[in-house]
Amino acid sequence: MGTYAPIGQATFYSTPYTYSPLLSDGDDVVSRSASMASGGGVVKRGAILSWAPATGLLTQPVATTDCNCILANDIDATSAAAAAIIYVGGKFKADAVIWPGALGHALVTESLRMHDIQIESVVFTDGTLVKSAPKDVEGQAAQQVVELNKAEEGKAAADIGKAAEEKVTVDSPWAYLTAEEREKNPEFAEVPTTQELGEAAGQIPDVPPVTINPTSATVLAAGGTGSITVTVTGPGTSGTWTVDKDSTATWLTYTPTTPQSASGSLNWTAAANTGAARSAHFYINGKTFTLNQGAGVSR
């Protein structure tokens, strides 16, 4: 008999493909395009970063309130600007994210939650309960925060129907509402939210919600000054509010620069502008203030 040559030959690699299981699930994931300026170095998928929506630029967070996104792909911005995809909403595994330096896990978790990013400490895989949490003591505290929040939200969902049938008071055993539920039910305006009750009980980090007024302003090209009234709301009045701004807005300064423990004012100063119209943002405990400055005339 003759010898037959093979029609084709398949090649297989023995090295398994692995990728960080960053997402807890695929529900409600929101992503955006972004970039990191040259000099940013090598940054890995899962890193918690600071994203400036106005410019699209990514930077390493220096304060817990800077933390507002998670990197979706590895990038190298060592010697040139690098394009990136970031997550600005969704649920992510606590042991798969890369925590930003020495910033406290619990406060970072709370800051991300204010930006619709949930750090999950428990996930289910094929029906098996799998714990997923940072290894250090502070990380374990962050895990407990997430689990307590999920327990409170579950109770709120189960009891909201009962609350609608009877007059709800602050002392009611089912008076555990999320901010969204209270907004949809104006008759429950005086009932504390899950977050407020948790803060009062010391269950979550004391990062109080705030309101700001105004939320935007315009300044002439010649420069100027202004102020923002910051009002601490809810039971967490003993907590602190902090301020950050776009890293590119070097023409904008403000005081105070240290965390504040009560309602007060943020005072800002804008330098003169000799170029095109520009804008910058302040970020105060999850609230955003926008400052627009008119174009200047170069002489």
Residue 17: pLDDT above 80?
no
Share of the chain above pLDDT 70, in %: 61
Just give the CATH number of 210-293. Answer: 2.60.40.10
152, containing H or E segment: helix 137-165
- How large is the average pLDDT for residues 207-232? 90
d(CA 245, CA 288): 9
Q: What is the pTM of this model?
A: 0.39
What is the domain partition of the chain in residue ranges? 30-122, 137-200, 210-293
Q: Which string of b and e fits 145-156 if b means at least 16 CB within 10 Å?
A: bbeebeebeeeb
How far is the CA of 124 from the CAs of 11, 25, 110, 131, in angstroms? Answer: 35, 9, 23, 9
How far apart are the two ends of the chain, measured CA to CA in Å?
A: 93
* Of 158 and 215, more confident: 215
Contact 171, 162 (CB under 8 A): no
- CATH of 30-122, picked from 2.40.300.10, 3.30.565.10, 3.40.50.880, 3.40.50.300, is 2.40.300.10
The model's pLDDT over 95-139, given as tens digits with 9 standing for 90+, comes to 788 888 888 888 888 889 998 998 876 544 444 444 454 445 555
pLDDT at 45 over 60: yes
Sort residue 281 into left (φ over 0), alpha (ψ -120 to 50) or beta.
Answer: beta
Percent helix, strand and coil across the chain, each rounded to 5?
20, 35, 45
Higher pLDDT: 228 or 139? It is 228
